[in-house]
Amino acid sequence: MSERGSTPGTSSSSNASSSASPAVGRALDMLVYLAGRPGLVQAATLARDLGIPRSSAYHILAVLAERGFVTYVPAEQAYGLGVTSFEVGSAYLRQEPLERLAQPILRTLASRLGQTVHLGILHGAETVYLLKERPPAGRTGDIDIALVTDIGVRLPAHLTANGRAILAHSSETQLRALFSRPGDLTTRTGKGPRTLPGLVGELAQERERGWSQEVELVTQGFRSMGVAAFDHHGRPVAAISSTWRRHHCKHDVDQVWDVLRHGAARLTAAVSGQAPTTGAGATAAA
The rounded Cα 169 to chain-centroid distance in angstroms is 9
**Average pLDDT for 228-245:** 91
Average pLDDT rounded to a whole number, residues 250-277: 91
User: 243 has which bridge partners?
Assistant: 224
Of the candidate ranges 118-127, 190-199, 203-212, 275-284, the one whose mean pLDDT is the lowest: 275-284
Residues 6+ apart with CB under 8 A from 155: 126, 127, 148, 149, 163, 188, 218
Tell me the C-alpha distance between 166 and 94, whole Å: 15
Q: For the segment 132-179, what is each residue's pLDDT rounded down to a tens digit?
A: 999 887 554 445 545 777 788 899 999 999 999 999 998 888 888 888
Domain map (residue ranges) of the chain = 3-81, 87-284
The answer as to CATH 3.30.450.40 being correct for domain 87-284 is yes
- Are the folds of 3-81 and 87-284 the same? no
**Count of other CB atoms within 10 angstroms of residue 194:** 11
> Pairing mode, if any, of strands 78-81 and 117-123?
unpaired
What residues have CB less than 8 Å from 59, skipping those under 6 apart? none
Query: Would you say the pTM of this structure is higher than 0.85?
Result: no
- Element containing residue 237 per DSSP (H, E): strand 236-245
Q: Report the pLDDT value the prediction gives residue 286, as an integer from 0 to 100.
A: 43
Q: Find out if CATH 1.10.3720.10 is the number for domain 3-81.
A: no
Q: Residue 93 — pLDDT band, cuts 50, 70, 90?
A: low
